[in-house]
Chain A
Amino acid sequence: MADTTMGPGAPRPALFLRNATGLVKAWSTFDAFVYSFWSVNLITLGLYGMSYVYNIPDGQLLASVLIFGVLVTFIVITYAGLVSVMPRTGGDYAWQSRVLGGGIGFVLAVTGWWFTLWLWAPIYANILVVQFFAPLAATLGWSNVATWAASPNGLFVSALILLAFVGVVVSLGMETYAKVQKICFWIGLAGLAVVCILLAVYSQSDFHSAFNREAASLFNVQGDAYQQTIDAASKGGFTAVAFSSFALVPTLLVLPYLAFYLLWPNWGATLYGEVRGAKDIRKPFWSMFWGLWVTIALVVLVILLMLKTVGWQFYYAANAAYWNSYYAVAGAPAPPVPLWPYPVMWAGFLVNNHLFQALLITVMALWFFGWAGTLFLSSTRVIFAAAFDRVLPSWAANISAKRRVPYGSLALMIAPALVVSWLYAYKTTVQAFFYDATAVIAITFLGTVIAAIILPWRRKDLYEASPVARYKVAGIPLITISGVVSALFLIGMLYEWAHWSLYGSNSPDSAKYFLVTYLAAVVIYVAARIVRSRQGIDLRRIHHEIPVE
């Protein structure tokens, strides 16, 4: 029955294993990479997030992307270390609870992974509209459908479709969805290759002509639509800066916009608890690292191709004209092409065939459908973990017997997300809250990296028993060093969000949102402590370590 395992590269056995439950072969780093790669989704989140960068025209986008990549790598190191020390389902919640305490862990985790994910539902719904429904309808000549899709009704229907899709994915489970993701991954990459090839082989004058041709054909725009777009941006107050110019402070100010997509290579960390073998630090690290840096390489490629073929001034001007019109900036006219400036659609314009353009938009929508299904996956895990700790009612972790649907946690996600989506669609005055969607999660990450910084002292036993303990720099634990750099990075971005009006999150409404969100989490936790105490349950003892001797 006994089996032998050779140590890595060892000339003789490092240990003898016997047949026992759970001894499995390591998971594929590539599979985990795909998940991380989807998390920092270049098309769905990246192009959308970068469409706001026109606000800082003197910020050097390429340099910002590279700086962001280096800084997020420290977060990747920190999270890989935590996965290795405590590979627990619940990720941020479990780590913060065990290191910082149950109350802090609950408040920081549920605000980031539960409440704030409600805000992401309409944001994703809007992305679905601007990257799929509207451009597809316009390309097929259904201009009324395209206009309706961009209306409040269209946005709310898009949110309903998204929530139904997310509910189905959570109910089917990750095994089925992982297969779908793989198909979407390869076809989506093929689509991106086509986009890049088109942008590479055609010139800027070709694009200029193609844009004008499609603007006339699809949107009845007469004259030079390309130039009219630039002019519309100028009238709204936008002034272009050369791509080659560099200024440090504006470049750093771009970082919070990039957080919209590049901050998430560790998104799957809430799920690592279910992965046997996660204690090996290398696999979670490399899967997140490559997910981040392959995306960054693709971002660099896409930026350079846009610079060459679309023109940097036009790219920023198109975004400025669209958003200035969307937010009704005084004096800003509507852009001649009224759709969100979707580089995929622009690449399609280079081929004078509407069916091809529609096909390209559909194929590139797989970047959305391959990822959006996981929107609430991590949230349900955090809700489960809090329910098992008796902080939330036990029904929150209920699953149906027949189909294993986690209906309790889904209800806690989908019902509020429906209300929030309705508000987003029909009450534009509350849209300021949605600018906080990234910052709140960054605060959750900050709590986790602080836990990582003090882990070697606070939970010395766990740390020293982990593979991470052997990684030190000048005698200081690597997880502490990477945690400090990560914390400084996150604090710097939080300062930018709080200080500058560029990001829309330093308004009184944002402050109210933060206050209400964190207060709600504190109230839930305190209420749980009181209620459970009456039931004879002391929530403080959940993470108290039993003496060994």
Chain B
Amino acid sequence: MPKVFFATDLHGSEVCWKKFLNSAKFYGADVLICGGDMTGKAIVPIVAENGHFTFALGGAPQAVAAEQVAEVEANIRRKGYYPLQMSVERLHELDGDPAKRAACFQEVMLEGVDRWMKLAAEKLRGTGIRCFVSPGNDDEMEVDDVIRRAELVELAEGRVVEIDGYSMISTGWSNPTPWNTHREESEEQLTKRIEEMATQIQDPSRAIFNLHCPPYKSGLDEAPAIDADLKLLHGGRALRPVGSTAVRQAIEKHQPLISLHGHIHESKGAVKIGKTLSINPGSAYEEGMLMGAIVQLDSKKGIKSYQLVNG
């Protein structure tokens, strides 16, 4: 029976992606599932000027020589940001033109995903390990095409896939967020999207629901409360459930064996919703730590064991 390793919300951290690919061997997993939000949130300009390069990473601007740039780039990628060398003129051009900035973002993100797909091919070739990715609400739609072209990574979004006798449905779409990201829709539309896949499943007791957004009021969806200006309230200690009612209803209605979620990085946990074990392994991508879940499936018990790990 397959042993599944699930991680999510890597947000551009190349260290986490490499760990994700190595996790199969490390934990003895047969199947890797990446739950979405692969792409990073920020570009860090490394500006060439006067014979050196300047950048700022969470502090005062620093200047480095050309031979140090590779190390700087690796450190930036580790945090999930995209390093981008540019001239002062290009910096001001991007700063002043939102359209050019958006195009630049898309270019570096797709390049990044493509590089990850090639890394996956190098690592997984000949191993027999299946690797699934379903982009999340933070990933632009064009990411799907890059994954479709990948040699050894399977795009899981919007379809039912068979894994050694188990059926998995996946979507990275979420209910609306204050950030108006790329894959958001109303709860009604999300219900429809999930139902179109869920109704194809013959045996819910052998089903995996890989749904990026966690179920509402499950404890896997507690995010710090913010005001309309996106400012954290009460020192960040006040938590609100922000999960999806559509996801919760789908779990309650179909009672799959297991549901895998992400989206809310701080809300790590594993809870039972009826017969379903719902897991959000959390995310600490900025630290280069890969938080994940190991699930050993079993033909009789359904789930033989599960464990949340910080790899």
Chain A bound to chain B:
yes
Chain A positions near chain B (C-beta within 8 angstroms): 1-2, 4-5, 7, 10, 12-28, 31-35, 85-86, 88-89, 98, 173-175, 178-179, 268, 271-280, 287, 384, 388-390, 394, 397-399, 401-402, 404, 406, 461-462, 465-467, 470, 535-538, 541-549
Contacts of A549 in B (CB 8 A): 18
> Which of the residues B137, B219, B296, B309 comes within 8 Å of A542, measured between beta carbons?
B309
B287 touches A401 (CB 8 A): no
Within 8 Å of chain A (Cβ to Cβ): is B164?
Answer: no
Contacts of B98 in A (CB 8 A): 1-2
> Which of the residues A174, A390, A399, A462 comes within 8 Å of B287, measured between beta carbons?
A462
Q: Would you list which residues of chain B between 218 and 239 have a CB under 8 Å from chain A?
A: 218-219, 222-226, 229-239
B311 touches A545 (CB 8 A): yes
Chain B positions near chain A (C-beta within 8 angstroms): 11, 15, 18-19, 22-23, 26-27, 37, 41-45, 55-56, 58-59, 61, 75, 78-79, 81, 91-92, 94-95, 98, 101-102, 104-105, 137-138, 174, 177, 179-181, 217-219, 222-226, 229-241, 263, 265-266, 268-273, 284, 286-290, 296, 304-311
Measured CB to CB, the closest approach of chain B to A112, in angstroms, equals: 20
Measured CB to CB, the closest approach of chain B to A284, in angstroms, equals: 10
B92 touches A12 (CB 8 A): yes
Nearest opposing residue in chain B for A461, CB measure: B288
Q: What CA separation (Å) do A175 and B235 show in the bound complex?
A: 10
| 9 residue pairs from A and B, CB less than 8 Å apart | A10-B61, A13-B91, A16-B101, A28-B231, A175-B240, A268-B235, A388-B269, A462-B288, A470-B59
Contacts of B138 in A (CB 8 A): 20-21
Q: What CA separation (Å) do A25 and B229 show in the bound complex?
A: 8
Q: What CA separation (Å) do A1 and B104 show in the bound complex?
A: 12
A274 touches B45 (CB 8 A): no
Contacts of B229 in A (CB 8 A): 25
B271 touches A397 (CB 8 A): yes
Contacts of A7 in B (CB 8 A): 56, 61
A465 touches B79 (CB 8 A): yes
Contact A398 B271, CB 8 Å, known A14-B61, A17-B42, A22-B265: yes
Q: What CA separation (Å) do A14 and B79 show in the bound complex?
A: 15
A25 touches B95 (CB 8 A): no
B232 touches A404 (CB 8 A): no
A31 touches B235 (CB 8 A): yes
A401 touches B217 (CB 8 A): yes
B236 touches A542 (CB 8 A): no
Contacts of A88 in B (CB 8 A): 284
Q: What CA separation (Å) do A279 and B58 show in the bound complex?
A: 10
Contacts of A174 in B (CB 8 A): 234, 237-239
Q: Considering residues A98, A175, A549, which has the most beta carbons from chain B within 10 angstroms of its beta carbon?
A: A175
Contact A25 B231, CB 8 Å, known A10-B56, A14-B56, A467-B59: yes
Q: What CA separation (Å) do A287 and B236 show in the bound complex?
A: 12
A34 touches B230 (CB 8 A): no
Measured CB to CB, the closest approach of chain B to A9, in angstroms, equals: 8
Contacts of A27 in B (CB 8 A): 224, 231-233, 235-236
Contact A273 B266, CB 8 Å, known A397-B271, A465-B75, A546-B290: yes
> Which of the residues B234, B307, B311 comes within 8 Å of A546, measured between beta carbons?
B311
A542 touches B226 (CB 8 A): no
> Which of the residues A2, A24, A538, A543 comes within 8 Å of B224, measured between beta carbons?
A24
Contacts of B284 in A (CB 8 A): 86, 88
A4 touches B101 (CB 8 A): yes
B222 touches A178 (CB 8 A): no
Q: Considering residues A461, A465, A535, which has the most beta carbons from chain B within 10 angstroms of its beta carbon?
A: A465
Nearest opposing residue in chain B for A176, CB measure: B238
